[in-house]
Structures are given as C-alpha cells and as structure tokens.
C-alpha cells in the first residue's frame, strides 16, 4: 500500500496557511487569486480526506454480517463435499449462490462508495494542482533580484558621491574662513592662487592649511559654475553648488532606497507565493497516495470476489485495510 502521512498533510497545510496569511496586501493580485484558491482547496481537501478515512473505516468495521454469511457459505461447502444426492447438491449450490449474491452485493456497494471517494480525492488533487504560475513567479523573482543588484550598485555610487560632496563642502567652508582670515581674496582676484602661494601666506602650523590647499582643486573643478577669477562670492557660489549636489544625492538615495524597499516587499510576497505554489504538491502527493490506496483495495476485493469460493481472504483484506487506515489516524493523533 502507498505510504500516506496525515502529519505531512497537516504540516503542509500549516505551511500554506502561514504563507497565505503573511501575503496580505500584495502587488500581485493575479498570483494572490491563485493562492487563495489553493489555500481554500487545501483546507477543503484536508477535511475531505479525513472524512473518507472515517467513513471507509466505518464500512470496514461492520464485518459481522459478512462473517455470518461466510460461516454459512463454508458450512454449505462442507455439506456439498459429502452430499451425493444430485437434487440436494443443486439445492445446496443454490443456497451458496444466494449467500454469495447477498455478500457480493454489499461488497460491491462498499467498493463503489470507496471508488467514488478515491475519485473525489484524485479530482480535488487535480484542482489544487491546476494553477500553473511557477514560471511566472520564478521569472518575476529573477527580474527583481536583477533590479536589486542594479539598485544596490546605484546606491553605492550615490553614497560615494554624497560622501565626497559632503567632504568638499566642509573643505570649502574651512577654506573660506582661512582665506578671509589671511586676506587671500584681496591678494588674488583675477587668477586662482597656486598651492605654493597659499602655503606662503598661511602659517605652516595652521591645521587648516591642507584644507585651504585642497579647496583650490575643488574650486578649479567647478570652473563652469564659478567662471574666471577668485573671489569670496565665487567661492560661495561653489559652496552652494556643492550643497545643492548633496541635496540632489540625498533625494536620489531616498528614491533608490524607497525603490529597494518596495522590491524587498515584492520579493517577500513572491517568497510566500512560491511557498504556496511548491508546498501544494507535497500536500497533494499524500492525497493521491491515499486515493491510490483506496483503488488498490477495491481492485483486490474485486479480484478475491472473482476467484475465491468464500470470503475468508476478503475478510482478511478488509482487516488489513482497516488497520492501514487506523494507523494513519493514530500516527496523526
């Protein structure tokens, strides 16, 4: 008989339930619709599965009538072995046939009911597996992960730009104070001083000397902004420009981080969707195994009915099936 675990079904159902509850609002309504259907069908099928076990066990647990028929059949078979009168032999055989018809009718009735339940489980499994969206989910996950790599690269780039702009802004701030303190703007107005000229005008021990020299390079790089010459107003324009860059980079980082946050939200949703998509097959495998077990049982009973002269082996097979189903229930207790 196929291996079936109601515990695996219970755990799988729980995994699907947790993933579905975590899905909540999502940017993927088409996937959510499929997940909702799967979630509902898994719950319904789990209940159906347990009900079939209970109902079939009830069929199998009422064997007393069949056992009584079987005793009568066997008694008549014993009589048949010693009887020599043709008329009595015919009478005994007719009685055996009548008893068999009565027993077979009940067995066929039970087999039809069990076959119907097997078909129900097979159909419900197919309904759970019906939705085909794995490839779409995988492609969406891959696309988002690619976007995440790109955005992480952009964030790193803008963080570096912002860091440099902040450093340049601080350097210009310090340098402007130094230039004013040493009257450098008064000595140089038409041309930008050299580093050597700046060094000659500022005390060598002044800790701001390095910033004053570095500011010259920053200022030169902003020629298109400040134009020719060297003045406080031009330096202030350069500083404002750098400040505006910081603001621009900050806004861009906010935008990128917002986009990254949404991607992570979507990836989290897709993770739950992917869990539901894959976990359903773990669930349906158990359901289909049980359906197969029902079918194997009914085929075995039908075969024994066709070949055996009494119900000895049928009763044994019914007992085996009852034990099989009872163990499923006990293992899930």
* Count of H-run helices and E-run strands, the chain: 11, 0
DSSP state of 164: H
Cβ contacts of residue 205 below 8 Å, gap of 6+?
A: none
Give the model's pLDDT for residue 61.
81
Measured CA to CA, the distance from residue 66 to residue 315 in angstroms comes to 8
Question: Cβ of 261: how many Cβ atoms within 10 Å?
Answer: 10
CA angle 19, 14, 264 (to 5 degrees): 15
| Strand boundaries in 23-164, DSSP class E | none
* Helix or strand (DSSP H, E) at 204: none
pLDDT at residue 27 in the model: 83
User: CA 40, CA 274: separation in Å to the nearest integer?
Assistant: 17
pLDDT value at position 84?
85
Neighbour-count burial for 61-100, b at 16+ CB within 10 Å, e otherwise: eebeebeebbebbbebeeeeeebeeeeeeeebeebbeebb
Over the Cα atoms of the chain, what is R_g? 43
Contact predicate 168/270, CB 8 Å? no
Q: What is the pLDDT of residue 330?
A: 61
**Location of structure tokens 């402007």:** 176
Residue 316 C-beta-side C-alpha neighbours within 13 Å: 8
Instruction: Give the domain ranges of the chain.
Output: 6-134+277-331, 149-262
Q: What is the pLDDT of residue 262?
A: 94
Q: Is the pTM of this model over 0.85?
A: no
Return averaged pLDDT per consecutive 10 residues of the chain, 333 residues in all.
93 96 85 95 97 93 87 92 89 93 93 96 97 95 97 98 98 95 86 90 93 94 87 93 97 98 95 96 97 97 93 94 87 57
């Amino acid at each position: 008989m196929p291996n079936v675990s109601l515990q695996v079904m219970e755990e799988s159902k729980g995994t699907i339930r947790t993933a579905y509850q975590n899905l909540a609002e999502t940017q993927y309504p088409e996937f959510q619709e499929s997940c909702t259907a799967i979630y509902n069908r898994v719950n319904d099928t789990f209940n159906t599965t347990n009900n079939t076990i209970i109902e079939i066990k009830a069929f199998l647990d009422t064997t007393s009538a069949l056992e009584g028929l079987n005793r009568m059949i066997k008694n008549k078979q014993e009589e048949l072995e010693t009887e020599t009168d043709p008329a009595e032999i015919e009478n005994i055989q007719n009685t055996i046939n009548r008893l068999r018809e009565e027993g077979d009718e009940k067995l066929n009735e039970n087999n039809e009911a069990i076959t119907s339940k097997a078909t129900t489980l097979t159909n419900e499994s197919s309904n759970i597996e019906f939705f085909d969206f794995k490839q779409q989910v995988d492609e969406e996950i891959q696309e988002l992960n690619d976007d995440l790599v790109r955005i992480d690269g952009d964030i790193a780039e803008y963080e570096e730009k912002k860091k440099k702009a902040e450093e340049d802004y601080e350097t210009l701030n310090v340098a402007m104070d130094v230039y004013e303190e040493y009257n450098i703007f008064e000595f140089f107005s038409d041309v930008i001083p050299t580093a050597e000229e700046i060094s000659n005008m500022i005390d060598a021990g002044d800790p701001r000397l390095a910033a004053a020299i570095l500011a010259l390079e920053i200022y030169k790089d902003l020629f298109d902004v400040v134009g020719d010459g060297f003045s406080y107003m031009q330096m202030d324009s350069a500083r404002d420009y750098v400040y505006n860059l910081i603001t621009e980079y900050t806004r861009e980082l906010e935008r990128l981080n917002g986009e990254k946050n949404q991607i992570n939200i979507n990836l989290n949703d897709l993770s739950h969707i992917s869990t539901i998509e894959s976990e359903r097959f773990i669930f349906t495998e158990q359901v289909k195994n049980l359906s197969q077990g029902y079918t194997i049982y009914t085929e075995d009973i039908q075969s024994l009915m066709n070949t055996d002269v009494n119900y000895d082996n049928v009763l044994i097979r019914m007992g085996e099936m009852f034990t099989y189903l009872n163990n499923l229930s006990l293992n899930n207790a």
